[in-house]
Copies of this chain bind each other. A is one copy, B any other.
């Protein structure tokens, strides 16, 4: 990317499919231009396909901050809050390291929605963003303050979903 090109904060939200995969696809596209991406995944600690596929990728670093078990909002404990907070610190280290062109905070909107971190923590994080770093925030139920803070917002809106046919998450497609 030409150094003169402006960098932005992008946000992918909504109840539809494609938020995390769009961020991963963006990282792959950017790698084709020699750009480096750091992906931090909040609330994820299970084996996702992208984790296996991108391990040892020369241009993409992916780290998980979450538990090995999926949680619901009512299951949140101090442990999950600590994990998310430590994740945000790690992401900040990556952001300020100067090593990356793009930084993805995957599912951070959900981490805020679940109360694992506060929206002010994220706004504070974004205020430290270097001018030459593109930041991508993903996750459903993005808080209004993050939508306001982002330069580009896409809502992935579910129009039709096979969940309604009783199909649950499938390896390689949903995880």
A151 within 8 A of B: yes
In residues 101-128 of chain A, which contact B (Cβ within 8 Å)? 101-102
Q: Are B8 and A17 in contact (CB under 8 A)?
A: no
The interface residues of chain B lying within 8 Å CB-to-CB of A145 are none
CA separation between A54 and B30, bound complex, in Å? 11
Q: Are B165 and A159 in contact (CB under 8 A)?
A: no
**From residue A108, how far is it (CB to closest CB) to chain B in Å?**
16
21 contacts between A and B (CB under 8 A): A2-B171, A16-B155, A17-B152, A18-B156, A21-B26, A22-B25, A22-B156, A28-B50, A28-B54, A30-B49, A30-B173, A32-B48, A33-B172, A35-B172, A102-B172, A151-B160, A153-B158, A153-B160, A154-B156, A155-B159, A156-B156
Given contacts A21-B29, A33-B49, A152-B160, 12 further A-B contacts (CB under 8 A): A18-B19, A20-B25, A22-B25, A24-B28, A28-B28, A29-B49, A30-B172, A30-B173, A31-B49, A32-B49, A151-B162, A153-B160
